[in-house]
Amino acid sequence: MRLTEIPTFQPRLKVFNRDQVLAVHGAALEILEKTGFKMEHPGALQMLADAGCTVVNDDWVKMPGYLAEQALQTAPKAFALYDQQGNKTMPLVNGNSFYGPGSDTTFTIDLETGQRRRTVLQDTANFAKLVDGLENMSFAMSMSNPEDVPIENIYVYAFAEIVKNTNKPIVFIADSGKDIAKIYEIACFVAGGEEEFQQKPFILNYSEAISPLRFPENVLDRLIFCAQKRIPLCFPSGSNAGGGAPVTLAGAMALGIAENLVGLVVHQLTNKGAPFLFGPNVSILDMKSTVVSYGCPEWSLTQAALADMRDELYGLPIWAFAGASDAKIMDAQAGAESMFSIITSMLSRCNLIHDSGYLEYGGISSLEMLTMNNELVAMSRSFTNGIPINSETLALEAIERVASVPGSMFLTDDHTFENFMQAQFLPKLLDRTRYDGWAESGSTDLYKRCNMETKRILAEHQVDPKLDDVLMAIDKVCKGR
């Protein structure tokens, strides 16, 4: 029997129907039109007023819904991040999912002592190098707030350190219009010039408004700078349910989306067609500890809902999180929470997914956890790829051979030899050895194995080095010339 080609269904999670999408979008527009927002950037305020917004009490703005709709029209529906060697490694389109670490943690788990300690610049370097060596981590982020660099240039130093230790794309933080200009200067050196950078951008800026509805001047400086230079940008405010936003997820999403739309409008008014990664961060404020949870199911749920809003309405690629935990060490809780967000973010087709390797609700970064998540992403991909149906995978001939030839078995059949690598997920760190073998090789748990694998990668992995004149230029920018 010959089969006609059957497309493979890839498992997909859906949270919102169209009515829900339209209701949340409508609520977001109503917030902008009727409640309004506080715009503390004089230039942006003027831009909004000129475009048709009403300004009351100096800096309180009410925005007609059509401005948001126009901005959604002019922003690109797809764009790509390139690696630092000019390869298009992150096409943010068609529900592609890319994972990577997060930004400023105060603490890290020391690879040698296992103790929680303050982060330093060497940690930034280690995380970047580890990302470079992990096949399922697509971009780098600082993962630390180094204590040993001048605070006024902390983000420039962190960025320079990442550039020196990986060639993957970089999601970066800046403080103001000043340091972001320095970071851009470094990025242009790496790309070989401003024009080259614009052709193949390898950086994306993370900036955020303050929920509820407050837009500080330094944040908008960055947004406008990125729009002018066409540096891709995400603008997720912390509209966390119960903290910066209402405790109910629908209202928190509406508020976060409203805040995102304000950013998008200013962004597109500045430079139509500049790339903007859509989406707020809608987690919850924990009602016992008052921390913003990174292990809760709600954040996964709201970003899955946002992915449905993208597909039904917005069309812009979205920002998301996964692979993080509220646990203080890399324990079973860390594994459970990490996997929960990794698999659901993939099943809902989130696009740029950050914060992998966070412990303590973003207070601690863990190299071992990033290594673990590299494998959990692979495991999730293997699931999300679905089950291809064709004559090779149905394997009726193999079944016939094994059934009809006495003494034969599938394990020795050619079909198994030819297909097993694609047909199965082959874990490297998740342990399936028999008990005695496991005991003989040291009775290790996953944390220990991730620790060893991380040390191996940091010792053995070679990052293609930057040219000397690029390195010198970077140091000049850091030191302020």
Residues of this chain that bind another protein (CB under 8 A): 104, 106, 118, 145, 151-152, 154, 175, 210, 214, 216, 242-244, 247, 285, 287-290, 363
Contact yes or no for 99/370 (Cβ under 8 A): no
Contact yes or no for 74/272 (Cβ under 8 A): yes
* Identity of the residue, 76 or 242, whose beta carbon is nearer to another protein in the bound complex: 242
Instruction: Provide, rounded to whole angstroms, the least separation between the CB of residue 55 and another protein.
Output: 20
Instruction: Provide, rounded to whole angstroms, the least separation between the CB of residue 473 and another protein.
Output: 25
Contacts of 101 (CB under 8 A, 6+ apart): 127, 131, 137, 140, 141, 143, 354, 355, 356, 357, 358, 365, 370
Encoded amino acid at 353, one letter? I
Instruction: Provide, rounded to whole angstroms, the least separation between the CB of residue 100 and another protein.
Output: 21
* Identity of the residue, 115 or 424, whose beta carbon is nearer to another protein in the bound complex: 115
Q: What angle do CA 399, 404, 405 make, to 5 degrees?
A: 105
Q: Which of 203, 189, 281 is nearest to 468 (CA)?
A: 189
Encoded amino acid at 355, one letter? D
The two three-digit tokens of residue 8, written as one number: 């493979």
* Identity of the residue, 151 or 394, whose beta carbon is nearer to another protein in the bound complex: 151
* Identity of the residue, 242 or 315, whose beta carbon is nearer to another protein in the bound complex: 242
Q: Which of 177, 225, 297, 211 is nearest to 28 (CA)?
A: 211
Instruction: Provide, rounded to whole angstroms, the least separation between the CB of residue 277 and another protein.
Output: 22
Q: Which of 285, 155, 312 is nearest to 212 (CA)?
A: 285
Phi, psi of 56 (to 5 degrees): -120, 150
Instruction: Provide, rounded to whole angstroms, the least separation between the CB of residue 216 and another protein.
Output: 6
Would you tell me how many other CB atoms lie within 10 Å of the CB of residue 309? 25
Distance, CA of 45 to CA of 28 (rounded, Å): 20
* Identity of the residue, 104 or 123, whose beta carbon is nearer to another protein in the bound complex: 104
Which residues are paired to 234 by β-bridges? 206, 277
Instruction: Provide, rounded to whole angstroms, the least separation between the CB of residue 125 and another protein.
Output: 18
* Identity of the residue, 83 or 104, whose beta carbon is nearer to another protein in the bound complex: 104
Instruction: Provide, rounded to whole angstroms, the least separation between the CB of residue 363 and another protein.
Output: 7
* Identity of the residue, 30 or 152, whose beta carbon is nearer to another protein in the bound complex: 152
* Identity of the residue, 156 or 342, whose beta carbon is nearer to another protein in the bound complex: 156
The two three-digit tokens of residue 273, written as one number: 């067609």
Which residues are paired to 108 by β-bridges? 117, 365
Contact yes or no for 152/145 (Cβ under 8 A): no
Q: At what angle do helices 249-270 and 217-229 cross, to 10 degrees?
A: 50
Instruction: Provide, rounded to whole angstroms, the least separation between the CB of residue 105 and another protein.
Output: 9
Instruction: Provide, rounded to whole angstroms, the least separation between the CB of residue 320 and another protein.
Output: 22
Distance, CA of 306 to CA of 310 (rounded, Å): 6
* Identity of the residue, 217 or 392, whose beta carbon is nearer to another protein in the bound complex: 217
